[in-house]
Amino acid sequence: MHVTMKSALAAIEAARKEAVKLKTQMCIAVVDSGANLKAFVRMDDAWVGSIDIAIKKAKTAVYFGMPTGEIGKLSQPGGSLFGIEHSNDGLITFPGGLPIVDEEGVLVGAIGVSGSSVENDHKVAAAGLKVVGICDLPQHPWRT
Amino acid sequence: MHVTMKSALAAIEAARKEAVKLKTQMCIAVVDSGANLKAFVRMDDAWVGSIDIAIKKAKTAVYFGMPTGEIGKLSQPGGSLFGIEHSNDGLITFPGGLPIVDEEGVLVGAIGVSGSSVENDHKVAAAGLKVVGICDLPQHPWRT
Amino acid sequence: MHVTMKSALAAIEAARKEAVKLKTQMCIAVVDSGANLKAFVRMDDAWVGSIDIAIKKAKTAVYFGMPTGEIGKLSQPGGSLFGIEHSNDGLITFPGGLPIVDEEGVLVGAIGVSGSSVENDHKVAAAGLKVVGICDLPQHPWRT
Amino acid sequence: MHVTMKSALAAIEAARKEAVKLKTQMCIAVVDSGANLKAFVRMDDAWVGSIDIAIKKAKTAVYFGMPTGEIGKLSQPGGSLFGIEHSNDGLITFPGGLPIVDEEGVLVGAIGVSGSSVENDHKVAAAGLKVVGICDLPQHPWRT
């Protein structure tokens, strides 16, 4: 199951509004459950370098079915997943990427945001997620 | 000068409507004059393989300030640009990518479309372009 | 919807038997509808270079929902899709890749085979496909 | 000398059974002594991001003839191999990859597993290895 275009655009629009409220300029990406890009918007004056980070955050969140920041906790020096960022053509493991889980507990995609502090990135991603789903997957086994 | 977010989304929406009219499912990308992604939408059931092609068509159109199909005429075996597709991490040189030139003759970005025949791809790109500019650059020197 | 592990392994086993019958050594790959690898086998003495080709054939077939050889007809010099192989990190557009479509007409994945002549590659892919689905998608709109 | 297809599939099947026993969903890869993919299976609902990690763990284990976790001890900040993950198109240096050494002490391939905690990944890899060899190479010089 995949996030629909309509949902992806609704998530991006809600995220964009939050970004405006926070007086930030963001790149906002939505990928489907196969980690393939579904929709993307770069606000005017957002960092060019955030394009790839927003997309990679969304991909990372769907790759492992969890918020990107959770992976980052485990990938620090000495952590159990140190260096995981070298996989999958590059992961981004700090906050700003959230899985999109539908009402039946199915992972249907993810949203990734980049352009400000990670706190703001996370807030904007959460605002986008809120209108289309939640980010908590049920305990394994969950379905894709 | 760059295409604004507002213009990019307007172009995508106009293109999407044309795609619906043609009963096709398209990926539609807009890049700015630096060939960096500005906005993107994948319609439901559009080919997954078209994501990259739509983006590459938009990039290709802005890289050289001309419709992708024009480059493709020159990149055939024996042609003066044979093999140019190997540059810039991969070009797409068949129709479906159009520069976006504003009313002052400035290249501000490009639109790229993929998902059906190249004729349909071109039509959809043209419909998107129409609401935000033209694709004909003035003779060199032109500004970016 | 995605091809299951069980179906992917069944397809590979049927393909492998056909390869033995043809006295060939093949690489056989199955990807899901997101073009992500599901299962893979390299027969003993199969070409090392066929690993990537088999996987790329499977990806190519799912990217565009059609047999790889069909794309190859359109990507010849002068053809409407000339150079499409430069997209998606490299396509393989000669025969040997087939979409897997389930009984409800949904594209659930693809099988890709490499290791002998393209005729043999195609036969082996077809033998694998046969036990898990068909390769003909209904007319658009089809679902992924 | 290379791991045979039969051995690779036997290792994967044994690993898969261990994964089921642990109530996990794993990606399991086997590469030969040239670090080229021999066989691969992704269990249903395994993380999409684990495909590449399982393969990279197997490659990493064969690249250096040791368990991936051993390399990870040396690649921490300040360690003698800090940053080695940047080589070979990306290494994964936390546990879950084990060399496959045959009864004559020859490195014939490696198994890589990803999809759960590194402890579980390691257990599943070890279960796969057990049916086809050991992971301890004799002191240098050893043969490939």
CB < 8 Å to A43, chain B:
5
Strand order in the sheet with D107-114: C97-101, C107-114, C27-32, C37-42, D37-42, D27-32, D107-114, D97-101
Q: What pLDDT is stored for residue B136 in this prediction?
A: 83
Nearest beta carbon to residue B49 from set C82, C87, C142: C87
What SS3 class is residue C107? strand
CB < 8 Å to A34, chain C:
32-36
Helix (H) or strand (E) holding D101: strand D97-101
Q: What pLDDT is stored for residue B7 in this prediction?
A: 97
Asked if C44 and D4 touch (Cβ cutoff 8 Å), the reply is yes
pLDDT above 80 (res C140): no
Q: What pLDDT is stored for residue A140 in this prediction?
A: 52
Buried b (16+ CB within 10 A) or exposed e, C3-35: bbbebbbbbbbbbbebbeebebbbbbbbbbbbb
CB < 8 Å to A62, chain D:
48-49
Contact residues of A toward D, CB < 8 A: 33-35, 60, 62-65, 77-78, 80-84, 86-89, 91, 140-144
Structure tokens at B50: 């078209």
ipTM of this predicted complex? 0.94
How far does Cα D10 stand from its chain's mean position?
14
Residue of D53, D73, D89, D113 for testing the chain A interface, max A β-carbons within 10 Å: D53
Q: What pLDDT is stored for residue C144 in this prediction?
A: 46
- Tell me the pLDDT tens digit for each residue of B70-79: 999 999 999 9
- Tell me the pLDDT tens digit for each residue of B56-72: 999 999 999 999 999 99
Non-local (6+) Cβ contacts of C55 within 8 A are C27, C29, C31, C37, C40, C112
Please judge whether C5 and D39 are an interchain contact, meaning their C-beta atoms are less than 8 angstroms apart.
no
Q: Locate tokens 């040189």: which residue?
A: B93
Asked if C71 and C91 touch (Cβ cutoff 8 Å), the reply is yes
Phi, psi of D74 (to 5 degrees): -90, -10
C129 forms beta bridges with: none
Q: Locate tokens 């080229």: which residue?
A: D36
Q: What pLDDT is stored for residue C11 in this prediction?
A: 98
Find the distance separating the first CA and the last CA of chain C, reported in whole Å. 6
Asked if A64 and A84 touch (Cβ cutoff 8 Å), the reply is no
Please judge whether C41 and D9 are an interchain contact, meaning their C-beta atoms are less than 8 angstroms apart.
yes
Asked if C113 and C15 touch (Cβ cutoff 8 Å), the reply is yes
Q: What pLDDT is stored for residue B140 in this prediction?
A: 62
Non-local (6+) Cβ contacts of D140 within 8 A are none
CB < 8 Å to A33, chain C:
34
What SS3 class is residue D53? helix
Average pLDDT (D77-103) is: 96
- Tell me the pLDDT tens digit for each residue of B2-51: 999 999 999 999 999 999 999 999 999 999 999 999 999 999 999 999 99
The residue of chain D with its CA nearest to that of C8 is D41
pLDDT above 70 (res B91): yes
CB atoms within 10 A of CB C121: 31
Shortest Cα distance, chain C CAs vs residue B138, angstroms:
28
- Neighbouring chains of C at 3+ CB pairs under 8 Å are A, B, D
CB < 8 Å to B48, chain A:
34, 36
Contact residues of A toward B, CB < 8 A: 4-5, 8-9, 34, 36-44, 48, 51
Q: What pLDDT is stored for residue D143 in this prediction?
A: 54
Q: What pLDDT is stored for residue D138 in this prediction?
A: 78
Please judge whether C39 and D41 are an interchain contact, meaning their C-beta atoms are less than 8 angstroms apart.
yes
Non-local (6+) Cβ contacts of B27 within 8 A are B40, B41, B42, B43, B46, B47, B50, B51, B53, B54, B55, B113, B114, B115
Confidence of residue C112 (pLDDT cuts 50, 70, 90): very high
Q: Locate tokens 């990803």: which residue?
A: D114
Please judge whether D44 and C5 are an interchain contact, meaning their C-beta atoms are less than 8 angstroms apart.
yes
pLDDT above 90 (res D56): yes
Q: Per residue of chain A (144 residues), what is the pLDDT tens digit?
A: 799 999 999 999 999 999 999 999 999 999 999 999 999 999 999 999 999 999 999 999 999 999 999 999 999 999 999 999 999 999 999 999 999 999 888 999 999 999 999 999 999 999 999 999 888 777 654 444
| Residues D108, B48: Cα–Cα separation, whole Å | 37
Shortest Cα distance, chain C CAs vs residue A24, angstroms:
32
CB < 8 Å to D117, chain A:
80
- Tell me the pLDDT tens digit for each residue of D98-138: 999 998 899 999 999 999 999 999 999 999 999 999 888 87
Strand order in the sheet with B97-101: A97-101, A107-114, A27-32, A37-42, B37-42, B27-32, B107-114, B97-101
**What percentage of chain B exceeds 70 in pLDDT?**
96
What SS3 class is residue A94? coil
Q: Do you find a cis peptide bond into A99, omega within 30 degrees of 0?
A: no
- Neighbouring chains of D at 3+ CB pairs under 8 Å are A, C
pLDDT above 50 (res D74): yes
The residue of chain A with its CA nearest to that of D22 is A140
pLDDT above 60 (res B141): no
Confidence of residue C26 (pLDDT cuts 50, 70, 90): very high
Structural domain spans, chain B:
5-130
Phi, psi of C39 (to 5 degrees): -155, 155
Q: What CATH number has the domain spanning A5-130?
A: 3.30.450.150
Asked if B98 and B111 touch (Cβ cutoff 8 Å), the reply is yes
Size of chain B in residues? 144
| Residues A71, A67: Cα–Cα separation, whole Å | 7
Query: For the purposes of burial, counting CB atoms within 10 Å of the CB of B36, is it exposed (0-12), middle (13-18) or buried (19 or more)?
Result: middle
